[in-house]
């Protein structure tokens, strides 16, 4: 994965989630929520329809960044991403995917340059459709401090009162991590944000 932005392609940041108001503030929609915050901060919108996704465009330190929220439902996210990547101005080398992660404690974030799907169906679909797991991903922890009886139901539930109190800071930190990947490179961003999570 290149450390600097080179070539013509734009950065494409894909937030994973499910469409519909009933899922808007659920744990599985953290990817959508991070993109919504970034768009708000930039004064842009994510509403243009393309490849069964809602797409928007912004600028980070002079670099063009596109945001995409697949509307296929989580398990088919890869179909939307594959379609989006067909355009010449986009590439896997400048793809960042944001997902929730039930294996990480709530609020913890992890940047990785590549890796397995870890049981996440959205990541699984993207890897299957792209034919590679070599793309940057930001995982946001949703694991509670108690056992989860039904993971499928849990990820589609809203946040608890205590979690809701921490949510804004988690989203802001995640957005900062994405900006760091784009402006500084994945290795530098990992050193900063993954280190923070260990302290």
The radius of gyration of the chain's CA atoms, rounded to the nearest angstrom, is 15
Contact (CB, 8 A) for 59 and 49: no
Residue 98, phi then psi, degrees to nearest 5:
-110, 125
From 28, 117, 120, 146, active-site residue = 28
Residue 166, phi then psi, degrees to nearest 5:
-95, -10
Active site residue 146: no
Q: Name the residue among 169, 196, 191, 167 with its Cα closest to residue 180.
A: 191
- Report which secondary-structure segment, H or E, holds 50: strand 46-50
61 DSSP 8-state letter:
T
What amino acid positions are annotated as catalytic residues? 28
């Amino acid at each position: 994965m290149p450390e600097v932005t080179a070539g013509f392609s734009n950065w494409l940041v894909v937030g994973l989630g499910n469409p519909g108001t009933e899922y808007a503030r659920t744990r599985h929609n953290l990817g959508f929520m991070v993109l919504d915050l970034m768009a708000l901060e930039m004064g842009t919108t994510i509403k243009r329809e393309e490849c069964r996704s809602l797409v928007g465009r912004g600028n980070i330190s002079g670099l063009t960044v596109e945001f995409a929220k697949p509307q296929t439902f989580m398990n088919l996210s890869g179909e939307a991403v594959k379609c989006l990547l067909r355009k010449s101005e986009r590439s896997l080398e400048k793809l960042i995917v944001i997902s929730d992660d039930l294996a990480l404690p709530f609020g913890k974030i992890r940047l990785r340059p590549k890796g397995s799907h870890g049981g996440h169906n959205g990541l699984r679909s993207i890897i299957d459709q792209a034919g590679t797991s070599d793309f940057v991903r930001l995982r946001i922890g949703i694991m509670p401090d108690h056992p989860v009886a039904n993971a499928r139901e849990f990820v589609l539930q809203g946040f608890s009162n205590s979690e809701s109190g921490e949510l804004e800071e988690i989203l802001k930190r995640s957005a900062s991590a994405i900006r760091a990947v784009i402006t500084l490179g994945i290795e530098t961003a990992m050193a900063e944000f993954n280190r923070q999570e260990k302290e």
